[in-house]
Every structure is written in structure tokens, then in C-alpha cells.
Amino acid sequence: MFEQMLQNMARLGFFQFLFPFLLALAIVYGLLSWALKEQLPKSARGVISLVIAFFVMYFGSLNVMMVNFFTTISGEFLVVAVGILFIVMMLAITGQKPQDLLADTKAKWVVVLLIVFIGIVIFFGAGAAWLIKIPGFVVGSDFWTILFFVIIFAIVLFWLGREEGGAAAAAPAAGEKKE
């Protein structure tokens, strides 16, 4: 019964027209309300959101890949969210709190960059590579292997440099007095 209902929704164009329309309407209206609440009256924000949402619906009618993109990105987001939840559960089992791990300012930036990287991977994994013309060498496995090595190497250098800098700052040089 539920599968038949989903097939009917797909046949009637809910996923290609209605849902992207509603999503665009909600996102644009929310952003305009957040950013320009004082500058634009509610009616203007509504009209602008509605017009942009209709353009998104028209784009959806011309581009059937949009349904595949939203389906894939939603599914991949769920997988990543479950993975993050699993990591938080493992930290809780070991008695660690995620906010304690982020007490260091540099660690926060590492986490932010990691989240941005995961977002980019999800975006391109969902099939958005057609939006940006990527050279062939970037898609090859050798490129990703080298990039992975460079990222790991940079993280190791970051942590080694951080420990050495911290140890040197804590211990006074020979012949110096502690104040």
C-alpha cells in the first residue's frame, strides 16, 4: 500500500514539481525572513519566495536529474547523520563529551573543515558534478589517493608542530629565569 502511494506520487510529479517547489519556497522565505526581516515586509518576502519557487518548479520540469539529485543527497545525508550519531554514541560509551573534544580553538577549525569536506563529498556523490566542469585528472583515483596522502601528511605536521610548540613554550630555555 505504501509503495503504491509512493509510485502514485512519483507518477503525479510530486517529487519533480511539488516537493522542490515547497522546499525552495521554505528556504527562500526563511532566508529572507532571517536576513531582511526589518527591510522587507512579510508580503514582499512571500511574493519573492513564491516567484523563485515557481522558477525552481519550472527548472524541475526541464531537468529530471533534479529528482535523482534530491533523492540521493537525502539518502547520503541520512547515512552520514547515522555515522555521526554512532561516533557520538561511542564517545559517550567511553565517557567523552563532544564539546570537551572541541575545547581547543584549532580543533574546532579542524572539525569545521571536516564537516565542509563531508558536505562537498555528499554534494558531488549525489550527482551534482554536472554543475561544475571538473577536469578528468581530478576524477581519477590517483588524484584522490595523492590528495588523501597530502591531507593526512598535513594533519600529522599540524599535530607534531603543535606539540613541539607547546612543549617549547612551557619549558624555559637554559640560563633563563622563570618569572
* 160-178: pLDDT as tens digits: 666 544 444 455 555 555 5
The DSSP element (H or E) to which 95 belongs, if any, is none
Q: Give per-residue burial for 99-131: e unless 16+ CB within 10 Å, then b.
A: eeeeeeeeeeeeeeeeeeeeeeebbbebbeeee
User: Around Cβ 33, how many Cβ atoms within 10 Å?
Assistant: 14
pLDDT at position 6 is 79
pLDDT at position 50 is 92
Rounded average pLDDT over 38-50: 90
Rounded average pLDDT over 70-85: 79
Q: Report how far Cα 157 is from the mean position of its chain's Cα atoms.
A: 26
Query: Between 141 and 95, where is the model more confident?
Result: 95
Query: Between 144 and 176, where is the model more confident?
Result: 144
Boundaries of every domain in the chain: 1-63, 65-134
Give the global pTM: 0.51
Measured CA distances, 169 to 13, 70, 92, 166, 178 (Å):
64, 51, 33, 5, 12
Return the axis-axis angle of helices 105-125 and 65-93, rounded to nearest 10°: 150
